[in-house]
Amino acid sequence: MFFSLFAFIADLVLISFVYILAYIIKFKINLSWNLSEIGYGNYVNHAQIEPYLHLLYIIVIVWSFSLILFGVYKERRGVLSGIDESINIVKASFLSTALIIASTFLFYTGDYSRHVFGYGAILSVLFISINHQFNFKLRSLFRNKSRNCKRAIVVGTDESAQHVYARIMLNEKHQYDLQGAFGNKPNKLIYAVEEKFNYQGKYEELLDFVSNNKIDTVFVVTQELSINLISELMEKLIEFGVTIKLQPSFLEVSSGKLESSDDLGMAFFSIKPSELSGLQFFCKRACDLVLAIPVLVLLSPFILLIAFLIKFSDKGSAFFSQERTGLKGKEFMMYKFRTMPENIEKETGPMINTESISNRATWIGKILRKTSLDELPQLLNIIKGDMSIVGPRPERPMFVEQFKNEYPDYDLRHRVLPGLTGWAQLNGRAALSTRVNEKLMYDLYYINNWTLLFDVKIVIKTLIYVLTWQGAY
């Protein structure tokens, strides 16, 4: 409550400052494309600040109403909730600006510049977003050092348990102080917890640890213990006053969407196959075209420049096409910029991209891969309907057949169009190239939880990763 109130008060101060700054930008700073001509002074003599100061309290009240209406001060919840919060701030900005402009027509005489309100809206989104991110970091730091943070452990060390461990560790609410995991010592760790997994010991050591370390919550995710042993363990944990949380294995529910029901007077979990409906597919396809076509047109000079540089540096073809498996197993030709010496597979045969393989790339190929610019030609695949902007990354048919034999659920990722980016790319990017089972889990999670908003969040997060060169090689 304190941090929400602190953020609210800070927002009101920032909004007042921002609209005065917007007035200065419009009337006191002569902006020009020629930087030498930028100046400060009475750029517009007749525009006085007093009318805007008189309107300031209306601006603050309207913004307060809009921010509260769109839930900006609610605690962050769910996947990529920080982006959700920024989207809500943008919504509040649109509503506030519309109401402020309407109020100037209804209640005030005189002329007001639409530019001031426009600058104010844009700057408010920027400053409020920064304030909320700072507030979130401050809140997280406080929680980690306070007694409000519940001490927790995970029972289980297999892959499913590691995914739960990662989710608790990375949860934006920071409500748990994760002390570690108990079970058989894992031979392999998933990418998300590779450097942070705290193995505490075998199952037999768990109860002593709970007793000596004042554990509040125990997440039971193990598949290594029998039902009888788990029941005995839970009875003893309850005696310690510990809260127990149970979750079915992700692998058990990855083929569909898990729902609970009690229509028979008993609690049951239902697993339903998850596919996009006709309307959902249409909406997703429409969004792909609306975004991909303008981006391709805008970037076409840049794409031609990259093609010229590849041709100039290596004398081979600039573009590269390769057969991939798409929706419902249908094969298509996926386009990329060529980043490696031409016809190199005649020497090595087909190989999955890894860091050692990427070292064979040409000098410009290394730059293109690091910045993900080698994927730009796939905008054509999106327009053609072979791919979507967001979805599981398409694999080569020979690897698909191999993975289907190793992982029975692998073919389920072909229920949607493959994507230029995807949920797996945000949880490991190139590092998951050889971790097929981990990548599959993220792909199936995306399919089972698809919404247009989820796509928007993935696109925004991907742009951040690309601009900061995270996870690519």
Is 255 within a domain?
no
- In our burial notation (b when 16+ CB lie closer than 10 A, e otherwise), range 374-402 reads bbbbbbbbbeeebbbbbbbbbbbeebbee
How many Å apart are CA 166 and CA 154, to the nearest integer? 11
* pTM for the structure as a whole: 0.73
In terms of domains, do 141 and 158 share one? no
**Do residues 218 and 289 share a domain?**
no
Are residues 112 and 135 located together in one domain of the fold? yes
Q: Is residue 221 part of a domain?
A: yes
Mark whether 388 and 354 lie in a shared domain. yes
Q: How far is CA 468 from CA 307, 364, 471, in A?
A: 23, 18, 9
359 and 312 part of one domain? yes
Residue 35 falls within a domain, yes or no?
yes
Out of 145, 175, 203, pick the residue that ends a domain.
Answer: 145
Side-chain-side CA neighbours of 303 within 13 Å: the count stands at 17
218 forms beta bridges with 153, 244
Q: Residues 317, 346, 379, CA angle at the centre, nearest 5°?
A: 40
- The Cα–Cα gap between 291 and 285 comes to 10
Helix (H) or strand (E) holding 37: none
- Of the residues 121, 145, 169, the one at which a domain ends: 145
State the first-to-last Cα distance of the chain, in angstroms, to the nearest integer: 43
pLDDT in 10s for each residue of the chain, 473 residues: 677 888 899 999 999 999 999 998 888 776 554 555 555 555 555 578 888 888 898 999 999 999 999 989 987 776 777 888 889 999 999 999 999 988 887 776 667 888 899 999 999 999 999 999 888 888 777 765 555 678 899 999 988 888 888 888 877 666 788 899 999 999 889 888 888 899 999 988 999 999 898 898 999 888 777 777 887 888 888 888 888 888 655 444 444 555 665 555 656 655 555 667 788 889 999 999 999 999 999 999 999 999 999 988 877 889 989 999 999 999 999 999 998 887 776 666 666 665 555 557 888 888 898 888 999 999 999 999 999 999 999 999 999 999 988 887 888 899 999 999 999 988 877 777 778 888 888 898 898 888 898 999 999 989 988 887 776 65
155 and 118 in a single domain? The answer is no
Name the packing angle between helices 397-406 and 436-448 (round to 10°). 90
**In terms of domains, do 102 and 189 share one?**
no
Q: Are residues 433 and 291 in the same domain?
A: yes
How many domains does the chain divide into? 3
Per-residue CA distances from 368 to 21, 244, 354, 473 (Å): 40, 48, 15, 9
- Give dist(CA 134, CA 128) in Å, integer: 10
State whether residue 197 is helix, strand or coil: coil
| Shared-domain flag, residues 387 and 293 | yes
Torsion sign across C-alpha atoms 80, 81, 82, 85:
positive
44 DSSP 8-state letter: S
Q: Pairing state of beta strands 319-325 and 268-273?
A: unpaired
Half-sphere exposure of 340 (CA within 13 A, CB side): 15
429 and 283 housed in the same domain: yes
Q: Are residues 163 and 77 in the same domain?
A: no
Is residue 92 within 8 A of residue 59, CB to CB? The reply is no
295 part of a folded domain: yes
Contact, 346 vs 365, CB < 8 A?
Answer: no
In this structure, the dihedral spanned by the alpha carbons of residues 33, 39, 41 and 46, taken in order and rounded to 10 degrees, is: -20
Packing angle, helices 2-27 and 50-69, rounded to 10: 140
Q: Which of 185, 255, 168 is nearest to 224 (CA)?
A: 185
Positive or negative: CA dihedral 238, 243, 248, 250:
negative
- Residue-wise burial string across 44-77, b where 16 or more C-beta atoms lie within 10 A, e elsewhere: eeebeeebbeebeeebbebbbebbeebebbeebe
How far apart, in Å, are the Cα atoms of 402 and each of 216, 334, 397, 438? 44, 20, 9, 16
Same domain, yes or no: 138 and 173: no
Instruction: Give Cβ neighbours of residue 316 (< 8 Å, ≥ 6 apart).
Output: 310, 338, 341, 342
Q: Which letter does DSSP use for residue 270 in this model?
A: E
Domain of 97?
2-145
Question: Of the residues 125, 145, 165, which one is the last residue of a structural domain?
Answer: 145
DSSP SS3 for 246: strand
CATH number (domain holding residue 198): 3.40.50.720
